Structure 1
Amino acid sequence: MHTLKAVASSSLSLAEDHYIYSIAAAAPGSFAVISSDDSLRVFNADDLSNSSIITPSAHEGVTSLRSYDAGQQLLATTGRDGKVKLWDMRRGKSPVVELHTLNHAPALSLACSAQTNDIAAGTEYIKHDNVYQAVVAFWYVLSPIQPRLQYIESHNDDVTELQYHPTLNHIALSGSTDGLVNIYNTNITDEDDALVQVINHGSVHHAGWLDEKTVYALSHDEDFAIHPMTDPDDQTAGEAEPTQFNDLRQPLNCEYVVQLCQNSQGQYIAAGNKLEQRLDLVPLVSSPSWQFDQTNSWRLPGAHGEEVIRSVYVDEQSQSVLTCGEDGCVRVWKPEAGDSASQTDSSAKGTRQKEKRSKNKDRFKPY
């Protein structure tokens, strides 16, 4: 077990009784957050006091935030007003692109593909003209008047998660409170034909890819599973069995799971405990089989006190972890002095053994 220390904490001038939903990279060294007051704010992780408001009202009920292209300082947001907006941090307080969902359905989830200039949004399950629908819509940002594609029958409850495949830009994933994780080939307009895999998991909180051929799903009651992605071109292959972890609260000694964090070092489950006031980043490893390596966890003692953490961002560039939560604060965490996984033994005796252990631990550094 390793320890991270809170080196900075700030409300970013957010008024009392508001909390922060989500963190995303906004530009090199800068980050953005959305809050319960509907604001979109940016800050520098090196100096949390140096924050600014991009807009005090991103939406009437902001719901999600994603980095569209941090290198170009572009952010995307969705809201309960049925709008999807693209923001350029260099061009003032108005969105550069504004999209509208079918029948102005509240937009709950969001995914971006800067490589193909695509944005996808998932909506709430609402009634319109006596028909209930939850929509997964795709827009080409350079021609944003109408969605280029909409799937309206694949989910029968709120769409809570969207992700693009890590390497195949035409493959996308959606998750819903109807319990399904759907994988689509978005080159296909016919909805039935576009649906290449359906995973039945339980009310989906988060879902996505662990690698090019592996999908994870996390339910709202902390049930976690890993599923192999099927090959739609292989008609002879049967459906591979998933790895079921079930409820993570007991095995990880936590009260809730924030999300799965990913970077070049690997994957981590962010598991919170309000009673003990801590957050653990627990490595998820695939060899020899999918399992949690709790001995190499990183602990954030104190966390956000007794308040729930809503979002975690692992920043490799600054070698830090950022968290935000229902206490209305952003915090920056770095390793405790003398407790770095890359630390080596200075003594000549045992140096080779220590380097071997350090090399192994480096694999699990969260940044």
Structure 2
Amino acid sequence: MTAVEKVEEQLAALRIARRCVPRQEPAYLLDIDTCRASQASSSSSLVAVSCSSPALRLYHRDTLQLLREYRAQPGALSGVRFARTCPSVVFSGCSQGTLQCWDARSASQKPVQVFSGYPSNVFISFDVSCTDLIVCAGTEKVEKDTFLVFWDARGVTDCASATKEPLGVYSESHNDDITKICFHPIEPNLVVSGSTDGLVNVFDINKDNEDDALISTCNSDSSVSSLGWSGEDYKQVYCTTHDEGFCWWDIAQLDTEEPITLLHVLDARESVCTENHHLHYLVGGLYHEKAQKLFLLGGTSTGDIHLISCGTDGLGLVGSLCGGHSATVRSFCWSPTDESLLTGGEDAQLLLWKPGAVERSLTKKAALKISSSVQKRVRVHNTSLKSRKKCSA
């Protein structure tokens, strides 16, 4: 059995190990992150979840016990990220023109630092560099303007409730809402952004100006819903789109005669469906370092999760995780340390999946699709194939 086949077998063998107890005030679970810091501490076993309520929740990584909840910020949340070098620092984005930095050891409803934008900014995406030196946020289009806003993130835990002003902005490379931002996992100066204008831009922020910083512009021909890095030394970029398409590019080929596009799938729902497994939407991707393999995670409106392998010859269904969620899954986080998967959805449930696990929670699966006042900027997945050809058995 090859390394890839072994990993695919492990992924298909994921089973529910833990299930959080749904809150009295149910909410969509929109984004999940876990601490990646190497130092051992109580904070390194935390899970952060941004909710539609809006609230930022912290759970214990192994038990999924809710530890605390932050509600200090107004407006819709645009994501959550742990600092990579400090397990007690967690960032959250807010549509009201700010990012907040929280001390995960404290229950205080006051952030330890606030990153303020410009007056018209509505932030809908953000990320933190792998060295925790730079924070970048993407804005909605206001009139004719859309921005990538940058801050210096150094010393965030040293200045209680201090407010940081931006270092500067990129304003010319996108012409519509910047839906996703993702820093390179090992190169702190590289960042990729995706937009509803269909463009996926790779920047080297060490350059003096935006024109020089723009390394590559790839066109997804659709509205970008998620993106990330993959491949050896993470020299590849991929994205999913709001109409369930998938694009995959090799940035290492920029200065060669070789084509940059590895795969372009217009509608993944047609590519991976079988007689018994239908795909309604894509959530995002995960790159498995050990297997050097890119996988996608998607699912159905009734809560089934599909794991999909990516190759230059197309997409293929690896396995399905059923019996967990009862509604659309909106977020996930993969942990390479113990080969586990966290998922959150519109049923307000947070689930921990591990290979061959036996669920120890007493909580039964809640057969509910909650009503939630999710903000307009959270796009609803289109589950119909419309005029496209349907799957054949």
TM-score, normalised with respect to structure 2: 0.75
Residue number in structure 2 paired with 1:344:
none
Measure the CA separation in 2 of the matches of 1:125 and 1:14: 35
Q: Return the alpha-carbon distance in structure 1 between the equivalents of residues 297 and 261 of structure 2.
A: 25
Structure 2 residue aligned with 1:222: 244
For residue 365 of structure 1, what is the aligned residue in structure 2?
none
In the alignment, which residue of structure 1 is the partner of 2:50?
A: 34
Q: Does 1:278 align with 2:304?
A: yes
TM-superposed CA distance for 1:188, in Å, is 2.1
CA distance in 2, matches of 1:111, 1:34: 14
Alignment of 1:307-318 (within 5 A): 307-318=327-338
- How far apart are the structure 1 equivalents of 2:16 and 2:177? 36
Match of 2:29 among 20, 32, 35: 20
Q: Decide whether the 8 Å contact of 2:14 with 2:357 is kept in 1.
A: no
* Structure 1 position 140 matched with structure 2 position 165: no
For the pair 1:257 / 2:282, whether they are aligned, the reply is: yes
One-letter code of the match for 1:245? V
Aligned AA (1:43): Y
Residue 55 of structure 1, CA deviation: 1.1
Unaligned runs of 5+ in 1: 339-367
Distance 1:240 1:261, change over 3 A: closer
Counterparts of 1:332-343 in structure 2 under 5 Å?
332-336=352-356
Q: Give the equivalent residue in structure 2 for 1:10.
A: 20
Structure 2 residue 180 is the aligned partner of structure 1 residue 171: no
- Aligned partner of 1:7: which letter? A
Q: Give matches, 1:195-344, under 5 Å.
A: 195-201=214-220, 202-211=222-231, 212-229=234-251, 234=255, 237=257, 240-253=260-273, 254-265=279-290, 266-275=293-302, 277-285=303-311, 289=312, 291-294=314-317, 297-305=318-326, 307-336=327-356
- Structure 2: 5+ residue runs without aligned partners? 1-8, 36-42, 156-162, 274-278, 359-393
1:156-215 per-residue CA deviation (whole Å, 9 max, x = no partner) reads 111011111233221211100011111112122322222121111121111221133211
Which amino acid letter does the alignment assign opposite residue 320 of structure 1? S
More strand by proportion, 1 or 2? 1
- Deviation at 1:53? 2.2
Q: Aligned partners of 1:88, 1:41: CA distance in 2, in Å?
A: 12
Distance in 2 (CA, whole Å) between partners of 1:172 and 1:203 is 18
2:124 and 2:139 in contact (8 A); partners too: yes
Identify the structure with bigger relative contact order (alpha carbons < 8 Å, sequence gap 6+): 2
Distance 1:241 1:165 in 2: 19
1:290 Cα deviation after fit: 5.3
Do residues 61 (structure 1) and 76 (structure 2) align?
yes
Taking the aligned partners of 1:70 and 1:302, their CA distance within structure 2 comes to 36
TM-score, normalised by the number of residues in structure 1:
0.80
Distance 2:285 2:164 in 1: 34
**For residues 60 and 241 of structure 1, what CA distance do their matches in structure 2 show?**
38
Question: Relative to 1, partners in 2 of residues 1:60 and 1:180: Cα closer, same or farther, differing over 3 Å?
Answer: same
Q: Once the 2 structures are TM-superposed, how far is the Cα of residue 320 of structure 1 from its aligned partner? A: 2.4
Q: Distance in 2 between matches of 1:98 and 1:30?
A: 22
CA distance in 1 between partners of 2:16 and 2:357 (Å)? 12
Of 112, 126, 143, the match for 1:96: 112
Matched positions, count: 323
- Between the aligned partners of 1:103 and 1:238, the Cα distance in structure 2 is 44
Contact 1:11-1:328 at 8 Å conserved across structures: no
State whether residues 117 and 141 of structure 1, in contact with CA within 8 Å, keep that contact through their aligned partners in structure 2.
yes
The Cα shift of 1:238 comes to: 6.9
CA separation in 2, counterparts of 1:303 and 1:249? 21
- 1:303 & 1:86 partners in 2: Cα distance? 32
Query: How far apart, in 1, do the equivalents of 2:299 and 2:261 lie?
Result: 29
Instruction: Give how far 1:124 is off.
Output: 0.7
Deviates more, 1:115-124 or 1:22-31: 22-31
Q: Which amino acid aligns with 1:89?
A: A
